[in-house]
A and B are shown apart, each in its own frame.
Chain A
């Protein structure tokens, strides 16, 4: 079945550092891909998404490109802020099937 694998955390960075969180997937068809963010004590909220190969999702300075050839959807940000500290989940959706990665906790220090 479909699955999502993302890099394990925790990840600790200094403010203004470059961020990459790796995400790879396996799927039988052509899923849509998502990054969700979870701030402390809250539910998940959509950060960005891509629905087909080579699409780039972007939001709040974060970007991820749907790479079908490498089955990847890595999350990047050029300069992180303390307010970006959260848990990030990579996810895919194929029809009714929704799969999440284990989550990566990011801490950004001033």
Chain B
């Protein structure tokens, strides 16, 4: 089954404790992206990656890091989480831009609470 998986689905942590949210897709997509969803603000892009070893900042990259060492994986790293990073996070993937404006496929979400 074609899918985007994220782990963990739920996480409660404390300020300053480094964490990683994993994202994996099995569709051989070039493009992957991380979003956060906050009430009244919709989805805002954190980082995206066009392919292996190619990443770029989205609209709200502060406090986050990403890496793309393999095509299927795109982890989101919070080196020192703060309460304002409490949010619902989504990973998404799509084929590369060449050939069309493809829709994105979303993971189920990770609800993060930073105390």
Please, which residues of chain A bring their CB within 8 A of the CB of B50?
A: 96
Known A-B contacts A43-B90, A96-B56; A101 and B103 likewise in contact (beta carbons under 8 Å) = no
Alpha-carbon distance between A96 and B104 when the two chains are bound, in angstroms: 12
Rounded to whole angstroms, the CA-CA distance of A52 and B23 in the bound complex is 32
**A19 → chain B closest CB, angstroms:** 19
* In the complex, chain A residues whose CB is within 8 Å of the CB of B103: 34, 46, 49
Contacts between the two chains (Cβ within 8 Å), count: 49
In the bound assembly, the distance between CA atoms of A89 and B43 in angstroms comes to 9
Looking across the interface, which residue of chain B has its beta carbon closest to that of A103?
Answer: B42
**Contact A100–B48 (Cβ < 8 Å):** no
Query: Which residues of A lie under 8 Å from residue B104 when comparing CB positions?
Result: 44, 46, 98
Main SS class of interface, A: strand
Assess A42 versus B42: contact at CB under 8 Å? Given A93-B101, A95-B97, A96-B50.
Answer: no
Whether A58 is near chain B, meaning CB under 8 Å from some CB there, is: no
**B40 and A44 within 8 A (CB):** no
Q: Which residue of A lies closest to B108 (CB)?
A: A43
Q: When the two chains form their complex, are residues A51 and B108 in contact, meaning their CB atoms are under 8 A apart?
A: no
Complex contacts, A42 vs chain B, CB 8 Å: 108-109
Residues of B within 8 A of A (CB): 4, 33, 35, 40-45, 48, 50, 56, 90, 92, 97, 100-101, 103-104, 106-109
